[in-house]
Amino acid sequence: MKLNTLPRRLQPPSVAVLGLLALTLLASAGTAHAAQTLSIGDLHSSYNRNILYMSIAVIVMAILIFIGVSYALFYTVNKFREDKHSAAPDQFHGNNRLETVLIVVPVIIVTVITILAAHTMAIVNPTPPGALHVNATGAQFWWAFDYPDAKLSGAAGTVVNGNELVIPTGRQVAITVTAKDVIHAFWAPNLGGQRDAIPGSLKTFQIDTDQPGSYQGNCSVLCGASHANMRFKVVALPPAQYAAFIAGAAAYKAPAPSTPSTQNGYSIFMQGEDKASAAVPACASCHRIQGTPAAGAVGPDLSYFGSRDTLGAGIWEGKEREAHIEPWIKHCAAVKPGCLMPAYTDLSDADLADLKAYLLSLKLPDTAAYWGKVPVR
């Protein structure tokens, strides 16, 4: 029989509907390649895989329960249908066997789901031996990442980065999350679950992936005017490249400014826009640059700003980023709502250009740089 001779309600769903469904499934499975995809269906993460296995088990049970309850309902309605010609129905008080079954079966189902959930939590929550430790601190509106393990290995400097988290592939990364001001939440969906970042509280959980790439992360708790602008990148590098990053970052010392432009930029950074007045603090009082006197911890660490790819906690990337550095320094709250950095409106365009040149000169050695070495996921 030809399809178009079928009655309308028996026609299979149209190609367009099937296509839409397939697209939705593809998108939710994280297999779209063009743009960066936020997806808890990225199964390169063991966390996401474990959650998926548990979800499938629970969904299968739910379908079986649905079929069983539907069958019982239709069976009962059909069997005990009202018969207009009969006398009054049988009167009876309860059915002990049926009631026992109706109590015992749900208890068994809930117990199985509880065991499954507890088992999954016991797999994904504990920090496994050999995990890499990273601290993530949320603040309005950016993220600080530091590597306590790098300090322990006796390296010269501290490995700290702002809004860009570098991790190795194929290894559990134990993230200890906290916050400086209000409650934020760390979430990189392709790599694992999310955790609230709460001031005064330290919470550790695991993320991981076996696929190199740069992934998108977001703050996922409303935390103020620029909550939506509190993003971060996670760059997952193969272990050898990750080791090169850590070695380069730990040994990093900011290069001395070598041109008149970067020298002026350096001087403004360290001493402020007007060396005679302290009305607006110098950049160095809030930002740190490893290997210079700048040791502020109020704003993001800028040690290798020139090797980064994002600005304003992920608002701008690449070329867009370079174009926004000067407006950002001049009046950051004008380009990012709620930005807490003071305005530097008295800086001349030439001074802004010099500051930008100095910041962009702060680069990791090529072996330690992490952008461009792995694809965008």
| Burial of 306 per CB tally in 10 Å (0-12, 13-18, 19+) | middle
Q: How far is the CB of 187 from ligand CUA (least distance, A)?
A: 10
Rounded distance, CA 116 to CA 323, Å?
51
For residue 184, state whether it binds ligand CUA (rule: CB under 6 A). yes
CB nearer to ligand CUA: give 65 or 222.
Answer: 222
**Residues 127-156 close enough to bind ligand CUA by CB under 6 A:** 138, 141
In the list 219, 294, 302, 364, the residue contacting ligand CUA (rule: CB under 6 A) is 219
**CB neighbour burial string for 242-254, b if at least 16 within 10 angstroms, e if fewer:** bebbbbbbbbbeb
Minimum CB distance to ligand CUA, residue 219 (Å): 3
Q: Total residues contacting ligand CUA (rule CB under 6 A)?
A: 9
Q: How many Å is the maximal CA-CA distance in the chain? A: 106
Q: Does 302 participate in binding ligand CUA (rule CB under 6 A)?
A: no
Q: Give the C-alpha separation, 208 to 370, whole Å.
A: 17
221 binds ligand CUA (CB under 6 A): yes
CA atoms of 272 and 280, how far apart (whole Å): 7
- Of 120-128, 170-178, 219-227, 333-341, the window that binds ligand CUA (rule: CB under 6 A) is 219-227
Q: Is 268 in the site for ligand CUA (CB under 6 A)?
A: no
Asked if 315 is part of the footprint of ligand CUA (rule: CB under 6 A), the reply reads: no
Alpha helices in 226-299 (DSSP H): 239-250, 260-271
Q: Which of 159, 167, 223, 268 binds ligand CUA (CB under 6 A)?
A: 223
- The encoded tokens of residue 50 equal 């474990």
CB 369 to ligand CUA: min, Å: 28
Q: Could you give the angle at the alpha carbon of 239 between the alpha carbons of 233 and 240, nearest 5°?
A: 115
**CB-nearer residue toward ligand CUA: 76 or 201:** 201
Residues that bind ligand CUA (CB under 6 A): 138, 141, 184, 219, 221-223, 227, 230
